[in-house]
Amino acid sequence: MHPLTPRLALLSTLLFAPACLTDTSQPTPPGKNPCDPNPCTQADKTTCANDNGRAICLCREGTLPRPNGSCEVVTSANCPEHPGDSAEPDDCIARAAPLEATQPRTQGIEPVGDYDFFRINATARNAYVLTVTPGPGALLPRVDVFDPEGKWIRAQDGSPGVQVGFKARVSAPYTVRVSHSPRDPSPAIGTYTLQLATPVQDDFGDIPEEAAALVPAPAGTSAPLISGRFEYGQDEDWFSFPVVRDATYRIEFDTTRTVPALAAFIRENVKSPFLTQQKSFVEFQAASSTTVFIDLYSANEAAGTYSFRVFEYR
Protein backbone atom coordinates (compact mmCIF):
# COMPACT_ATOMS: atom_id res chain seq x y z
CA MET A 1 0.00 0.00 0.00
CA HIS A 2 1.22 3.46 -0.84
CA PRO A 3 1.67 6.11 1.81
CA LEU A 4 -0.68 9.03 1.59
CA THR A 5 2.09 11.57 1.80
CA PRO A 6 2.78 13.94 0.26
CA ARG A 7 -0.80 15.07 0.42
CA LEU A 8 -1.64 17.99 -1.74
CA ALA A 9 -3.34 20.87 -0.04
CA LEU A 10 -5.99 21.36 -2.66
CA LEU A 11 -8.93 22.09 -0.38
CA SER A 12 -8.87 25.78 -1.16
CA THR A 13 -8.60 25.30 -4.90
CA LEU A 14 -11.64 23.04 -4.88
CA LEU A 15 -13.83 25.57 -3.12
CA PHE A 16 -14.53 28.00 -5.95
CA ALA A 17 -18.05 28.83 -7.02
CA PRO A 18 -19.64 26.27 -9.29
CA ALA A 19 -19.93 27.35 -12.90
CA CYS A 20 -23.18 27.16 -14.80
CA LEU A 21 -23.05 24.42 -17.41
CA THR A 22 -26.41 25.04 -19.07
CA ASP A 23 -26.36 23.96 -22.71
CA THR A 24 -28.87 25.97 -24.68
CA SER A 25 -28.47 24.12 -27.98
CA GLN A 26 -30.90 21.39 -28.85
CA PRO A 27 -29.20 18.09 -29.66
CA THR A 28 -31.15 15.62 -31.73
CA PRO A 29 -32.40 12.55 -29.83
CA PRO A 30 -30.00 9.60 -30.21
CA GLY A 31 -30.60 7.60 -33.36
CA LYS A 32 -32.28 10.44 -35.22
CA ASN A 33 -30.44 11.88 -38.21
CA PRO A 34 -30.31 15.69 -37.87
CA CYS A 35 -29.83 15.91 -41.67
CA ASP A 36 -33.20 14.26 -42.41
CA PRO A 37 -34.96 16.37 -43.51
CA ASN A 38 -32.03 18.48 -44.73
CA PRO A 39 -32.09 21.81 -42.83
CA CYS A 40 -29.38 23.33 -45.08
CA THR A 41 -31.06 25.69 -47.52
CA GLN A 42 -28.58 28.59 -47.89
CA ALA A 43 -27.29 29.02 -51.47
CA ASP A 44 -24.51 26.51 -52.29
CA LYS A 45 -24.37 25.55 -48.59
CA THR A 46 -26.69 22.61 -48.95
CA THR A 47 -24.44 19.74 -47.84
CA CYS A 48 -25.53 18.58 -44.38
CA ALA A 49 -23.23 16.73 -41.97
CA ASN A 50 -24.03 15.19 -38.60
CA ASP A 51 -21.81 16.68 -35.88
CA ASN A 52 -22.59 14.51 -32.86
CA GLY A 53 -26.34 14.81 -33.38
CA ARG A 54 -26.27 18.43 -34.58
CA ALA A 55 -26.61 19.42 -38.23
CA ILE A 56 -23.84 21.52 -39.73
CA CYS A 57 -24.18 22.97 -43.23
CA LEU A 58 -21.21 22.69 -45.58
CA CYS A 59 -20.38 24.27 -48.93
CA ARG A 60 -21.18 21.97 -51.82
CA GLU A 61 -18.26 20.56 -53.80
CA GLY A 62 -16.64 23.09 -56.11
CA THR A 63 -17.43 26.05 -53.85
CA LEU A 64 -15.23 27.78 -51.30
CA PRO A 65 -16.18 28.48 -47.67
CA ARG A 66 -15.71 32.20 -46.94
CA PRO A 67 -15.09 33.75 -43.50
CA ASN A 68 -18.59 35.33 -43.53
CA GLY A 69 -20.15 31.86 -43.74
CA SER A 70 -21.13 32.02 -47.41
CA CYS A 71 -19.94 29.69 -50.17
CA GLU A 72 -18.32 31.10 -53.30
CA VAL A 73 -18.12 29.37 -56.66
CA VAL A 74 -14.45 28.73 -57.40
CA THR A 75 -12.80 30.83 -60.14
CA SER A 76 -9.25 31.75 -61.09
CA ALA A 77 -9.84 34.96 -59.10
CA ASN A 78 -10.46 33.26 -55.73
CA CYS A 79 -8.32 30.17 -56.38
CA PRO A 80 -4.95 31.10 -57.96
CA GLU A 81 -3.90 29.20 -61.06
CA HIS A 82 -0.32 28.88 -62.23
CA PRO A 83 1.90 26.41 -64.08
CA GLY A 84 3.57 23.66 -62.07
CA ASP A 85 3.18 19.92 -61.71
CA SER A 86 0.25 17.92 -63.05
CA ALA A 87 -1.73 18.40 -59.80
CA GLU A 88 -2.23 22.13 -60.50
CA PRO A 89 -4.50 24.00 -60.10
CA ASP A 90 -4.92 22.94 -56.48
CA ASP A 91 -4.41 26.19 -54.58
CA CYS A 92 -7.67 26.26 -52.61
CA ILE A 93 -10.02 24.01 -50.64
CA ALA A 94 -12.47 23.68 -53.54
CA ARG A 95 -9.73 22.18 -55.71
CA ALA A 96 -8.21 19.87 -53.10
CA ALA A 97 -7.05 16.55 -54.55
CA PRO A 98 -8.43 13.42 -52.87
CA LEU A 99 -5.90 11.78 -50.54
CA GLU A 100 -6.13 8.10 -49.66
CA ALA A 101 -4.27 6.19 -46.96
CA THR A 102 -1.42 4.01 -48.23
CA GLN A 103 -1.23 6.00 -51.49
CA PRO A 104 1.61 8.49 -50.99
CA ARG A 105 1.70 11.48 -53.33
CA THR A 106 4.85 13.13 -54.58
CA GLN A 107 4.50 16.62 -56.04
CA GLY A 108 6.05 20.06 -55.86
CA ILE A 109 5.75 23.46 -54.27
CA GLU A 110 6.41 25.60 -57.32
CA PRO A 111 6.46 28.51 -58.05
CA VAL A 112 7.34 30.37 -54.85
CA GLY A 113 4.19 30.83 -52.79
CA ASP A 114 2.47 27.72 -54.14
CA TYR A 115 -0.22 26.04 -51.99
CA ASP A 116 -1.23 22.41 -52.54
CA PHE A 117 -4.54 21.26 -51.04
CA PHE A 118 -5.64 17.68 -50.37
CA ARG A 119 -8.99 16.33 -49.27
CA ILE A 120 -9.50 13.51 -46.77
CA ASN A 121 -12.98 12.02 -46.71
CA ALA A 122 -12.97 11.49 -42.97
CA THR A 123 -15.07 9.30 -40.72
CA ALA A 124 -16.18 10.73 -37.37
CA ARG A 125 -14.00 9.68 -34.39
CA ASN A 126 -11.14 8.49 -36.60
CA ALA A 127 -7.64 9.88 -36.02
CA TYR A 128 -5.62 10.83 -39.11
CA VAL A 129 -1.84 11.21 -39.20
CA LEU A 130 -0.04 12.87 -42.12
CA THR A 131 3.66 12.79 -42.86
CA VAL A 132 5.43 15.08 -45.31
CA THR A 133 8.99 14.33 -46.33
CA PRO A 134 10.80 16.97 -48.40
CA GLY A 135 12.71 15.81 -51.49
CA PRO A 136 15.98 17.27 -52.74
CA GLY A 137 15.84 21.06 -52.79
CA ALA A 138 15.34 23.88 -50.33
CA LEU A 139 11.68 23.27 -49.44
CA LEU A 140 10.90 23.33 -45.70
CA PRO A 141 7.36 21.95 -45.67
CA ARG A 142 4.49 23.13 -43.51
CA VAL A 143 1.12 21.39 -43.18
CA ASP A 144 -2.12 23.15 -42.18
CA VAL A 145 -5.31 21.23 -41.40
CA PHE A 146 -8.84 22.61 -41.93
CA ASP A 147 -12.19 21.22 -40.78
CA PRO A 148 -15.16 20.59 -43.13
CA GLU A 149 -16.35 24.19 -42.66
CA GLY A 150 -12.95 25.47 -43.77
CA LYS A 151 -11.90 26.48 -40.25
CA TRP A 152 -8.22 26.10 -39.46
CA ILE A 153 -7.48 23.38 -36.89
CA ARG A 154 -3.69 23.30 -36.54
CA ALA A 155 -0.38 23.51 -38.38
CA GLN A 156 3.02 21.95 -38.07
CA ASP A 157 6.28 23.26 -39.55
CA GLY A 158 8.99 20.96 -40.85
CA SER A 159 12.26 20.07 -39.16
CA PRO A 160 12.65 19.22 -42.05
CA GLY A 161 9.96 16.46 -42.15
CA VAL A 162 6.50 17.12 -40.75
CA GLN A 163 4.08 14.91 -38.89
CA VAL A 164 0.68 16.26 -37.95
CA GLY A 165 -2.54 14.59 -36.84
CA PHE A 166 -6.15 15.43 -36.20
CA LYS A 167 -9.34 13.71 -35.12
CA ALA A 168 -12.46 13.98 -37.24
CA ARG A 169 -15.52 15.06 -35.26
CA VAL A 170 -17.74 14.79 -38.35
CA SER A 171 -17.93 12.33 -41.23
CA ALA A 172 -17.14 14.89 -43.95
CA PRO A 173 -14.15 16.13 -45.99
CA TYR A 174 -11.25 17.63 -44.02
CA THR A 175 -8.57 19.52 -45.94
CA VAL A 176 -4.80 19.71 -45.58
CA ARG A 177 -2.57 22.29 -47.19
CA VAL A 178 1.12 21.87 -47.95
CA SER A 179 3.27 24.98 -48.42
CA HIS A 180 6.76 26.30 -47.77
CA SER A 181 7.16 27.08 -44.06
CA PRO A 182 7.47 30.76 -43.13
CA ARG A 183 10.03 29.59 -40.51
CA ASP A 184 12.42 29.62 -43.45
CA PRO A 185 12.19 33.22 -44.67
CA SER A 186 13.99 32.49 -47.95
CA PRO A 187 11.73 31.80 -50.94
CA ALA A 188 12.03 28.10 -51.70
CA ILE A 189 10.53 25.55 -54.04
CA GLY A 190 10.94 21.80 -54.14
CA THR A 191 9.29 18.42 -54.18
CA TYR A 192 7.80 16.53 -51.26
CA THR A 193 6.04 13.25 -50.53
CA LEU A 194 2.80 13.31 -48.56
CA GLN A 195 1.58 10.16 -46.86
CA LEU A 196 -1.62 9.49 -44.92
CA ALA A 197 -1.44 6.64 -42.40
CA THR A 198 -4.31 4.17 -42.21
CA PRO A 199 -6.82 5.89 -39.94
CA VAL A 200 -7.58 4.42 -36.52
CA GLN A 201 -10.48 5.16 -34.22
CA ASP A 202 -9.67 7.30 -31.17
CA ASP A 203 -10.16 5.08 -28.13
CA PHE A 204 -11.39 7.77 -25.67
CA GLY A 205 -13.28 11.03 -26.17
CA ASP A 206 -11.65 14.47 -26.22
CA ILE A 207 -14.22 16.48 -24.28
CA PRO A 208 -15.81 16.15 -20.82
CA GLU A 209 -19.14 15.10 -22.34
CA GLU A 210 -17.39 12.10 -23.91
CA ALA A 211 -15.32 11.15 -20.86
CA ALA A 212 -15.12 7.42 -20.04
CA ALA A 213 -16.52 6.73 -16.56
CA LEU A 214 -14.25 4.87 -14.10
CA VAL A 215 -14.69 3.62 -10.54
CA PRO A 216 -11.70 4.19 -8.22
CA ALA A 217 -10.56 1.04 -6.42
CA PRO A 218 -10.27 0.99 -2.60
CA ALA A 219 -6.64 1.33 -1.50
CA GLY A 220 -4.94 -2.03 -1.08
CA THR A 221 -7.07 -3.80 -3.65
CA SER A 222 -6.05 -4.61 -7.20
CA ALA A 223 -7.48 -1.81 -9.31
CA PRO A 224 -8.25 -2.53 -12.97
CA LEU A 225 -5.58 -1.31 -15.36
CA ILE A 226 -6.92 1.19 -17.88
CA SER A 227 -4.94 1.36 -21.11
CA GLY A 228 -5.20 3.96 -23.83
CA ARG A 229 -3.42 5.49 -26.73
CA PHE A 230 -2.56 8.90 -28.12
CA GLU A 231 -3.26 8.02 -31.75
CA TYR A 232 -1.72 11.36 -32.80
CA GLY A 233 0.44 13.82 -30.93
CA GLN A 234 -2.28 16.32 -30.05
CA ASP A 235 -4.83 13.73 -28.89
CA GLU A 236 -6.64 14.21 -25.56
CA ASP A 237 -8.33 11.34 -23.74
CA TRP A 238 -10.89 12.15 -21.02
CA PHE A 239 -12.00 10.05 -18.05
CA SER A 240 -14.27 10.73 -15.09
CA PHE A 241 -14.83 9.18 -11.67
CA PRO A 242 -16.91 9.99 -8.59
CA VAL A 243 -15.11 11.42 -5.55
CA VAL A 244 -16.20 11.61 -1.92
CA ARG A 245 -15.44 14.62 0.27
CA ASP A 246 -12.19 14.28 2.28
CA ALA A 247 -11.12 11.06 0.51
CA THR A 248 -7.76 11.06 -1.27
CA TYR A 249 -7.33 9.82 -4.84
CA ARG A 250 -4.18 8.52 -6.42
CA ILE A 251 -3.69 8.00 -10.16
CA GLU A 252 -0.71 5.73 -10.91
CA PHE A 253 0.80 5.54 -14.37
CA ASP A 254 2.80 2.71 -15.91
CA THR A 255 6.24 4.32 -16.26
CA THR A 256 7.33 1.88 -18.97
CA ARG A 257 4.91 3.67 -21.30
CA THR A 258 4.15 7.32 -21.97
CA VAL A 259 3.46 9.13 -18.69
CA PRO A 260 0.83 11.59 -19.84
CA ALA A 261 0.37 15.12 -18.65
CA LEU A 262 -2.83 15.28 -16.59
CA ALA A 263 -5.29 18.11 -16.04
CA ALA A 264 -7.99 17.48 -13.42
CA PHE A 265 -11.34 19.27 -13.18
CA ILE A 266 -14.49 19.04 -11.09
CA ARG A 267 -17.91 18.64 -12.65
CA GLU A 268 -18.88 22.17 -11.58
CA ASN A 269 -16.02 23.67 -13.61
CA VAL A 270 -14.64 21.70 -16.55
CA LYS A 271 -12.82 24.75 -17.95
CA SER A 272 -10.24 25.55 -15.26
CA PRO A 273 -8.25 22.58 -13.91
CA PHE A 274 -7.68 22.46 -10.13
CA LEU A 275 -4.53 20.43 -10.82
CA THR A 276 -2.11 20.05 -13.75
CA GLN A 277 0.80 17.63 -13.43
CA GLN A 278 3.03 15.19 -15.23
CA LYS A 279 4.27 12.61 -12.72
CA SER A 280 4.36 8.84 -12.36
CA PHE A 281 1.56 9.27 -9.79
CA VAL A 282 -0.82 12.12 -9.04
CA GLU A 283 -2.65 12.57 -5.72
CA PHE A 284 -5.31 14.95 -4.52
CA GLN A 285 -7.87 15.18 -1.73
CA ALA A 286 -11.48 15.93 -2.61
CA ALA A 287 -12.97 19.00 -0.95
CA SER A 288 -16.49 18.05 -1.93
CA SER A 289 -18.38 15.01 -3.16
CA THR A 290 -18.59 15.45 -6.91
CA THR A 291 -17.29 14.00 -10.18
CA VAL A 292 -13.67 14.57 -11.18
CA PHE A 293 -12.70 14.69 -14.85
CA ILE A 294 -9.15 14.00 -15.97
CA ASP A 295 -7.77 15.03 -19.34
CA LEU A 296 -4.69 13.03 -20.39
CA TYR A 297 -2.44 14.30 -23.17
CA SER A 298 1.13 14.02 -24.39
CA ALA A 299 3.30 16.82 -22.98
CA ASN A 300 5.60 16.73 -26.01
CA GLU A 301 2.79 16.10 -28.52
CA ALA A 302 4.01 12.61 -29.40
CA ALA A 303 1.88 9.57 -30.22
CA GLY A 304 2.15 6.70 -27.73
CA THR A 305 0.39 4.37 -25.32
CA TYR A 306 -0.27 4.76 -21.60
CA SER A 307 -1.94 2.88 -18.78
CA PHE A 308 -2.99 3.78 -15.25
CA ARG A 309 -4.94 2.79 -12.15
CA VAL A 310 -7.07 4.96 -9.85
CA PHE A 311 -7.14 4.33 -6.08
CA GLU A 312 -9.30 5.79 -3.34
CA TYR A 313 -8.14 6.31 0.28
CA ARG A 314 -10.97 6.93 2.74
Q: Which stretch binds Ca ion (CB under 5 A): 15-23, 79-87, 212-220, 297-305?
A: 79-87
Instruction: Please pick, from the candidates 51, 144, 147, 235, the single residue that binds Ca ion as defined by CB under 5 A.
Output: 235
DSSP element (H, E) containing 249: strand 248-253
CA-to-CA dists, residue 157 to 110, 163, 190, 203, 302, angstroms: 18, 9, 15, 27, 15
CA-to-CA dists, residue 273 to 10, 66, 214, 264, 265, angstroms: 12, 35, 19, 5, 5
Q: Which stretch binds Ca ion (CB under 5 A): 24-32, 78-86, 193-201, 295-303?
A: 78-86
Number of residues located near Ca ion, criterion CB under 5 A: 9
Q: Is 202 in the site for Ca ion (CB under 5 A)?
A: yes
Least distance between Ca ion and beta carbon 164 (Å): 16
- Classify residue 231 as left (phi > 0), alpha (psi -120 to 50) or beta: alpha
Instruction: Please pick, from the candidates 44, 51, 91, 147, the single residue that binds Ca ion as defined by CB under 5 A.
Output: 91
What is the Cα–Cα distance from 153 to 167, expressed in whole angstroms? 10
Closest to Ca ion by CB, 44 or 237: 237
Closest to Ca ion by CB, 290 or 298: 298
Least distance between Ca ion and beta carbon 40 (Å): 29
Closest to Ca ion by CB, 90 or 147: 90
Q: What does the per-residue mask of binding to Ca ion show for 162-201, with x meaning CB under 5 A?
A: ----------------------------------------
What is the Cα–Cα distance from 110 to 88, expressed in whole angstroms? 10
